[in-house]
Amino acid sequence: MNAPGASPPDPRSIWTKKKMMIELNGVGKSFTLHNQGGTEIPVLAGAELSVAPGECVALTGASGAGKSTLMRMIYGNYRTQAGSIRVGGVDVTAAAPREILRLRREGLGYISQFLRVVPRVPTVAVVAEPLLQLGRPRDQALDVARGLLHRLNIPERLWDLSPTTFSGGEQQRVNIARGFAHAYPALLLDEPTASLDAVNRAVVLEMIAEAKARGAAILGIFHDVAARDAVCDRAVDVGAFTPGAVQ
């Protein structure tokens, strides 16, 4: 793996070897705060990145460098001002909402740092939700969900409760279970091990390694260097895409 701060590898040299699952070209982003005097916050310029099937790439860079922003742009959660972002053939910067929703259902998973759920929905149903959206039979989906909750050491007595009152680490594990319920070909992970103890962190790293082995293309943000080294094949420093930075 490249040391953080090393320049990103030339995507074209990799392109000749394998077909990319995630590919960014000339991507730029700035925020305009209209109600704060129209302040312009340039965050990213000329971002290049690609992730092949079976590969795990780490996004590195200082706090505020734009790692989460870039990840949200790939998920279609933030808009992109310049460049293209292709995920499995869909350009998320230009796709219609229903195409993005379909991509998210079938092809692109995202595990953010925050769990967002409908209040009162039991944990096991929250985890099964991605499979239900794909039209899987309910009992099958719930079986998968229970298996994941068990693996991530969520006590069985909590499965039928809403996760809204769970601890930070428990909520994060529920989020991870949900993100792994469906075998997405592409997966985005924003600090998936941040508030986990050693045992659960090991479980998550194992799950990431398994996803790689089945051919998933994974892009991850890991503040924990040991975790990053354990699963990532290389790193891309987002600092290289800071507008005005010397590249």
Q: Is residue 24 a contact partner of residue 83, using CB atoms and an 8 Å limit?
A: yes
Cα–Cα distance, 6 to 182 (Å, whole number): 34
**Given 5, 33, 137, 215, the residue binding another protein (CB under 8 A):** 33
The span of 82-90, 116-124, 184-192, 225-233 binding another protein (CB under 8 A) equals: 116-124
Q: What residue spans of the chain are helical by DSSP H?
A: 11-15, 67-75, 97-106, 123-133, 138-151, 168-181, 198-213, 225-231
Window contacting another protein (CB under 8 A); options: 41-49, 59-67, 70-78, 195-203:
70-78
Does the footprint of ligand ATP cover residue 112 (CB under 6 A)? no
**Could you give the CA distance from residue 147 to residue 141 in angstroms, rounded to a whole number?**
10
**28 contributes a contact to ligand ATP by CB under 6 A:** no
* Sole binder of another protein in the list 35, 63, 155, 198 (CB under 8 A): 35
DSSP symbols for 108-149: EEEE-SS----TT--HHHHHHHHHHHTT--HHHHHHHHHHHH
Give yes or no for a contact between 116 and 162, defined as CB atoms under 8 angstroms apart. Answer: no
Of residues 145 and 227, the one with the C-beta less far from Mg ion: 227
Name which position in 5, 19, 26, 64 contacts ligand ATP (CB under 6 A): 64
Q: What is the DSSP letter of 236?
A: E
> For another protein, which stretch binds (CB under 8 A), given 20-28, 115-123, 182-190, 201-209?
115-123
Instruction: Compare residues 78 and 166 and give the one whose CB is closer to another protein.
Output: 78
Smallest distance from ligand ATP to CB 1, Å:
19
In whole angstroms, give the CA distance from residue 127 to residue 174. Answer: 7
Of 60-68, 93-101, 196-204, 212-220, which segment contacts another protein by CB under 8 A? Answer: 93-101
- The single residue among 121, 161, 194, 230 that binds another protein, judged by CB under 8 A, is 121
From CA 230, how far away is CA 209, in angstroms rounded? 9
Residue 234 has phi, psi (to 5 degrees) of -160, 170
68 lies in the binding site for Mg ion (CB under 5 A): yes
Interacting residues with another protein (CB under 8 A): 31-35, 72, 76-79, 97-98, 100-101, 116, 118-121, 132-133
